[in-house]
Amino acid sequence: MTRAAAESRPGGGGDAPGTYWLLWFERSGAASYVSHLDTVRALQRTFARAGVALALSGGFRPKARLSLPLPLPVGAAGLDELAVAEVADGAPPPARALGALQAAAPPGITPLRLQTCAMRPRPRALEARYAAEMRGDPGALVAAATWFAAQEGVTVERVTPKGRRTLDLTRYVGDLAVQPVPGGAHVTFVVRHRHDGAARPQEVIDLLAGRAGCASVAHHLTRVGVSYQGLPRDASSGGEE
Amino acid sequence: MQTPSTASERSCPSGEWPRDELEDLLSRVTRPGRYVGGEFNLRLKPQARPRVVLSYPDVYEVGMANQAVQILYAAVNDETPGVAERAYCPWPDMGDLMRARDVRLWSLESQAPVAACDLWGITLPHELTFTNVLEMLDLAGVTLHAAARGEDEPIVLGGGPAVADPWPLAAFFDAFFVGEVEGRVAELVEALGARTRAERLDQLGRVPGVWLPPRSAADAAGPPARRQVFTEFARTMPVTRPLVPLLEAVHDRAVVELMRGCTRGCRFCQAGMWYRPVRERPVDLVVEAAARTLAATGCDEVSLVSLSSCDYSAIGEAVERVRALRPGLRVSLPSLRVDSAAVRLGRFGAGQRGSATLAPEAGTQRLRERINKGVDEAQLMDAVEAVFSGGFTGLKLYFMLGLPGESDDDARAIAATATKAAELARRVSRGRARLSVAVSSFVPKPHTPFEREAFAGEVVLRRRQRLLHDALPRTVKAAFHDVSGSLVEASLARGGRGSDAFVEAAWRNGARFDGWRERFDLRAWSTAAASCGVTLGEPAMTDPATAPWREAVDPGVDAAFLDEERRRAEAGLHTEDCRRGECGACGVCGGGVEMEVVA
Ligand code: SF4
């Protein structure tokens, strides 16, 4: 079915005012360990439990129309994540729906706020801010970040199902800051999402760990916020826009 | 994720569970979501005592589909002062890491060590999960042999259908519960309040249905435990707030158990003997349960489950009324009876435009009569026609090989039946039909009329699989059960006293996840068999003629009834379903236990 056909379908949404909802939510704890698709399913189920019907795609196996514009890595929490939902006719007012969604969500998924949108939003992530803790020698971790800041290019190799590719991390990672704490460091950085892709947070952690000679494990990896293009004014995430 | 600090002192000794360490493990395994809980309808009672951990000895996704764990989880948490948490068998990647880092198995709810709970209840679905029980005990740091467990270790209680013969696991469990536990949960939890381990075990041993295995080879076994029947089944609301995983489930549907028990009397079927008598929930209760479960799960499909849902007395009304709960709601029945009326009911399920399944079990009328299947070829073909004229595009037929009295010709006859069904399917569906057959191996099970029959053995099963495979047309896809797994199943299903040593030897040789074809390790089992003097495929450490399982378990079904059914099988005589005809005097009813069917 074409998009135009789907949008003109009765009950299928279309661009009527209030049909598109932007749901901002937190993902934390146990929910951090599920995949992108599982998170989508958990949110779809949350809507169903809350009694808010989502519009359905066409075809033999209709799917509820809800998507997450920027997948969160498995193992990462997200403080202010975005879901775009297309609700069916007869949905309750968003102010009332938020409470129902909060009551219906599983542990680890917390709906924070809802905004309606008259037109189908097409958000594109520009930047995502991350924070994590690493265990190891604090001085070595600080030195690793200092080294990275001084480089013009840092090439890393990525193994994908389609084969190996290299990317220059300095194009995609900015504002890398390492704060020493007892037994390790608190690390923050920004991942820039360009038209040709983005760095993975784990690639930043791997780089620091490799330079500092410590375990490549990001503890409490958290996406603090994301800047989007293509959202209505005042729709942003993470409190900085 | 809840931090360990939410758990009580006993369940979370300070410093034992650095969160970092767990996070580190999770970052290194496949599907870390298996180990963290966080499901919809999760219950958290961090301060409650006693602390019970419930387990299903397989990987999380498989265990989450088990209804017994869901029932017990709700019963302990919602109806007793205690708390129930869960743990499943870590997949080998996680198991290996836990050993390497000396991290002990934790419960999903509190992340506290399983070893620190008061009672560890493990449901035992079938023999090919037995080595996973040992794996879990070991990963939890719980002493493997019950006789050697210390005062602070949990009481390990086994339940579920494989308790029909508890001998192959007797050394590893402190106690077994035989039968349906719902009516005894409060008593079990109360027994845990006793001061010492010995007192707790003593109290548990007084709960009807509990069997305490002998603690040494010299000890005599205690009296057999009578299988418990949940007599309030028909008046009790089923679980309506089940746990729903965030990880993708194999079947994403709300489940309502509308009936328990089946008295069709298939002579190979252990469940048919084990869950007697039939008890049906009233339609109003079924509809109410479906409405509540749909609301609590957010599912868009309801499955009305039982051993044989099409036999539920008001199945048509139940399906119609559940469908009316919500426009477009799908209502599925897990197994369709082999008749056209039943198949027509199946069209309301997710299977519409998908696949239906029918189980004729045998290829000849003679053999179907011997197993009391009560289905003839005309009924089967009617059902096949109904499947494809009703909109299904696929059909899977279930058959068994190795049934008592079976010959090579019976195996070939399965191919003839499947070929005829495929031709009919092609005609009715104008060439769009897909027909497949799934062929399992018959393993004689305790407490059935065939409990003393011989297992067909590897050579016969492999020959008949080949015969059938060669005789089937290419258009019919066939899937055969792995014979090696059946050999182990056959040795354990009727294992005698001492057969626990065989299970332990196999586990020590590396056997685990035996029900997973890709992980099944025949070498581990063959070596164990050689060292324990067991012939694979033969009942381990026993002569089945002595029926050693009856020393531990009184199933309620009389041995005389089973013997008579065996005689009738040999004579090819049909035994009527007692729900529709006369009481067959199986011995189950009486003393407050009775059949309950809706008008
Ligand atoms: S005692 Fe009679 S009525 Fe009861 S389950 Fe057995 S055969 Fe059926």
Looking at residue B351, what is its pLDDT?
Answer: 47
The predicted model gives A79-89 an average pLDDT of: 96
Identify the CA nearest to A75 among candidates A185, A238, A223: A223
The predicted model gives A214-233 an average pLDDT of: 92
- Is the pLDDT reported for residue B231 higher than 50? yes
- Is the pLDDT reported for residue B401 higher than 50? yes
Q: Which residue's CA is minimally distant from atom 4 of ligand 1?
A: B589
- Is the pLDDT reported for residue B443 higher than 50? yes
pLDDT digits (tens, 9 = 90+) for A195-210: 999 999 999 999 999 9
Looking at residue B233, what is its pLDDT?
Answer: 98
Q: Can you tell me whether residue A80 is helix, strand or coil?
A: strand
The predicted model gives B344-367 an average pLDDT of: 80
Which atom in ligand 1 lies closest to the alpha carbon of residue B557? 6
The predicted model gives B417-443 an average pLDDT of: 93
Q: Is the four-CA dihedral B511, B514, B517, B523 of positive or negative sign?
A: positive
Q: How crowded is residue A234: how many other Cβ atoms within 10 Å of its Cβ?
A: 7
H or E element that contains B451: none
Q: Which amino acid is at A156?
A: V
Contact A218, A186 (CB under 8 A): no
Rounded CA gap, B330 and B322, in Å? Answer: 9
Q: How crowded is residue A135: how many other Cβ atoms within 10 Å of its Cβ?
A: 17
The predicted model gives B355-360 an average pLDDT of: 90
pLDDT digits (tens, 9 = 90+) for B121-178: 999 999 999 999 999 999 999 999 999 999 999 999 999 999 999 999 999 999 999 9
pLDDT digits (tens, 9 = 90+) for A169-190: 999 999 999 999 999 999 999 9
Instruction: Find, in chain A, the residue whose alpha carbon is nearest to that of B41.
Output: A106
Contact B33, A35 (CB under 8 A): yes
Looking at residue A6, what is its pLDDT?
Answer: 33
Contacts of A75 in chain B (CB under 8 A): 23, 26-27, 32
Cα A16 to Cα A87, A234, B157: the distances in Å are: 11, 20, 59
Of B1, B23, B40, the CB nearest to A106: B40
CATH number of A3-123+230-237: 3.30.70.580
Contact B406, B371 (CB under 8 A): no
Which atom in ligand 1 lies closest to the alpha carbon of residue B588? 1
Identify the CA nearest to B283 among candidates B258, B304, B301, B306: B258
Distance of CA B68 to the CA centre of its chain: 9
Q: Whole-number mean pLDDT of chain B?
A: 93
- Is the pLDDT reported for residue B196 higher than 70? yes
Rounded CA gap, B166 and B122, in Å? Answer: 13
Q: Phi first, then psi: give them for residue B360, nearest 5 degrees.
A: -75, -20
pLDDT digits (tens, 9 = 90+) for A52-80: 999 998 877 788 999 999 999 999 999 99
A189-193, B305-309, B348-352: least confidently modelled range: B348-352
Ligand 1 contact, B584 CB (< 6 A): yes
Does B245 or B356 have the greater pLDDT score? Answer: B245
Rounded CA gap, B107 and B102, in Å? Answer: 16
Rounded CA gap, A27 and B123, in Å? Answer: 33
Cis peptide upstream of residue A17 (ω within 30 degrees of 0):
no
Q: How far is B328 from chain A (nearest CA, A)?
A: 12
Q: Which residue's CA is minimally distant from atom 7 of ligand 1?
A: B584
Cis peptide upstream of residue B277 (ω within 30 degrees of 0):
yes
Looking at residue A118, what is its pLDDT?
Answer: 82
- Asked if B24 lies within 8 A of A41 by C-beta distance, the reply is no
Looking at residue A85, what is its pLDDT?
Answer: 97
Spell out a b/e string for B46-62, using b for 16 or more CB atoms within 10 Å of the CB, else e.
bebbbbbbbbbbbbbbb
Output the six-digit token pair for B342: 């039943």
Instruction: Find, in chain A, the residue whose alpha carbon is nearest to that of B243.
Output: A106
Output the six-digit token pair for A149: 């800041």
Provide the pLDDT confidence category of residue B430 given band limits of 50, 70 and 90.
Answer: confident
Q: How far is A234 from chain B (nearest CA, A)?
A: 31
Contact B403, B364 (CB under 8 A): no
Q: Provide the β-strand partners of residue A197.
A: A194
Rounded CA gap, B296 and B259, in Å? Answer: 21
Looking at residue A233, what is its pLDDT?
Answer: 67
Rounded CA gap, A89 and A53, in Å? Answer: 8
The predicted model gives B235-244 an average pLDDT of: 98
Interface of B with A (CB under 8 A): 1-2, 20, 23-24, 26-27, 32-33, 35-40, 42, 44, 244, 246-248, 295-300, 353
What secondary structure does DSSP assign to B345-361, as a single string?
HHTTSTTTTSEEEEEEE
- Asked if A49 lies within 8 A of B42 by C-beta distance, the reply is no
Helix boundaries (H) for B429-513: 458-471, 483-493, 500-508
What secondary structure does DSSP assign to B356-383, as a single string?
EEEEEE-SSHHHHHHTT----HHHHHHH
pLDDT digits (tens, 9 = 90+) for B277-289: 999 999 999 999 9
- Is the pLDDT reported for residue B9 higher than 60? no
Contact B172, B137 (CB under 8 A): yes
pLDDT digits (tens, 9 = 90+) for B531-579: 999 999 999 999 999 999 999 999 999 999 999 999 999 999 999 999 9
Instruction: Out of B227, B575, B589, give the residue to mutate to test ligand 1, the one with the largest number of ligand atoms within 8 Å of its CB.
Output: B589
Q: Can you tell me whether residue B459 is helix, strand or coil?
A: helix
**Distance from the CA of B178 to the center of ligand 1, in angstroms?**
19
Ligand 1 contact, B444 CB (< 6 A): no
- Is the pLDDT reported for residue B250 higher than 80? no
| ipTM field | 0.91
Rounded CA gap, B133 and B126, in Å? Answer: 11
pLDDT digits (tens, 9 = 90+) for A87-118: 998 889 888 999 999 999 999 999 999 998 88
Of B27, B246, B296, the CB nearest to A31: B246
Contacts of A201 in chain B (CB under 8 A): none
Looking at residue B10, what is its pLDDT?
Answer: 28
Q: Can you tell me whether residue A124 is helix, strand or coil?
A: strand
Count of pairs with CB atoms under 8 A, one residue in A, one in B: 82
Looking at residue A160, what is its pLDDT?
Answer: 87
Looking at residue B19, what is its pLDDT?
Answer: 63
The predicted model gives B448-469 an average pLDDT of: 98
Contact B155, B120 (CB under 8 A): yes
Instruction: Out of B564, B583, B593, give the residue to mutate to test ligand 1, the one with the largest number of ligand atoms within 8 Å of its CB.
Output: B583
Provide the pLDDT confidence category of residue B349 given band limits of 50, 70 and 90.
Answer: low
Provide the pLDDT confidence category of residue B354 given band limits of 50, 70 and 90.
Answer: confident
Looking at residue B22, what is its pLDDT?
Answer: 87
Rounded CA gap, B166 and B566, in Å? Answer: 23
pLDDT digits (tens, 9 = 90+) for B470-501: 999 999 999 999 999 999 999 999 999 999 99
Q: Phi first, then psi: give them for residue A127, nearest 5 degrees.
A: -145, 145
Residues in CB range of A109: below 8 A, 6 or more apart: A25, A26, A27, A31, A39, A42, A43, A46
The predicted model gives A149-177 an average pLDDT of: 95
Ligand 1 contact, B263 CB (< 6 A): yes
pTM score over 0.80: yes
Contacts of A215 in chain B (CB under 8 A): 24
Looking at residue A14, what is its pLDDT?
Answer: 42
H or E element that contains A117: strand A109-117
Give me the count of residues in chain B.
599
Instruction: Find, in chain A, the residue whose alpha carbon is nearest to that of B294.
Output: A49
Rounded CA gap, B392 and B429, in Å? Answer: 9
Does A237 or A60 have the greater pLDDT score? Answer: A60
Output the six-digit token pair for B77: 């948490």
Identify the CA nearest to B88 among candidates B125, B121, B55: B55
Contacts of B23 in chain A (CB under 8 A): 75, 217, 219-220
The predicted model gives B180-189 an average pLDDT of: 98
Looking at residue B175, what is its pLDDT?
Answer: 98
Q: How far is B521 from chain A (nearest CA, A)?
A: 30
Q: Can you tell me whether residue B397 is helix, strand or coil?
A: strand
Contact B397, B358 (CB under 8 A): yes
Provide the pLDDT confidence category of residue A234 given band limits of 50, 70 and 90.
Answer: low
- The domain segmentation of chain A, as residue ranges, is 3-123+230-237, 137-214
Does A235 or B542 have the greater pLDDT score? Answer: B542
Instruction: Find, in chain A, the residue whose alpha carbon is nearest to that of B111.
Output: A30
The predicted model gives B361-383 an average pLDDT of: 95
Q: How far is A139 from chain B (nearest CA, A)?
A: 20
Of B20, B24, B246, the CB nearest to A38: B246
